Amino acid sequence: MSEGRVIAVSRSGTHTMSKPGCARIRLLEGLGVEGDAHMGETVKHRSRVARDPTQANLRQVHLIHSELFDELRAKGFDVVPGLMGENVTTRGVDLLALPTGARLHLGAAAVVEVTGLRNPCYQLDGLQHGLLEAVLERDPARRLIRKAGVMGIVITGGDVVAGDAIGIELPNGAHEALKPV
Range of the domain at 53: 3-169
Q: Rounded distance, CA 100 to CA 78, Å? A: 30
> Has residue 175 been placed in a domain?
no
Q: Rounded distance, CA 118 to CA 96, Å? A: 10
How many residues appear in the chain?
Answer: 181
Tell me: pLDDT of 1 over 90: no
Report residue 111: phi and psi, to 5°. -135, 125
Q: Rounded distance, CA 50 to CA 149, Å? A: 24
Write down the mean pLDDT value for the chain.
96
What distances in angstroms separate CA 87 from CA 47, 130, 131, 141, one per listed residue? Answer: 20, 22, 19, 32
> Has residue 71 been placed in a domain?
yes
Dihedral angle sign, alpha carbons of residues 172, 175, 176, 178: positive
pLDDT tens sequence across 46-73: 788 889 999 999 999 999 999 999 999 9
**How many domains would you assign to the chain?**
1
**For 23-109, where are the E strands, in sequence order?**
25-28, 32-33, 61-65, 88-91, 103-106
> Has residue 152 been placed in a domain?
yes
- The CATH number of the domain holding residue 151 is 2.40.33.20
> Has residue 179 been placed in a domain?
no
> Has residue 181 been placed in a domain?
no
> Has residue 178 been placed in a domain?
no
CB proximity list for 176: less than 8 A, separation 6 or greater: 99, 100, 101
> Has residue 139 been placed in a domain?
yes
> Has residue 113 been placed in a domain?
yes
Within a 10 A sphere around the Cβ of 90, how many other Cβ atoms? 26
Strands across the sheet containing 32-33: 32-33, 25-28, 158-160
pLDDT of residue 165: 98
pLDDT tens sequence across 112-153: 999 999 999 999 999 999 999 999 999 999 999 999 999 999
Bridge partners (DSSP) of residue 112 are: 104, 154
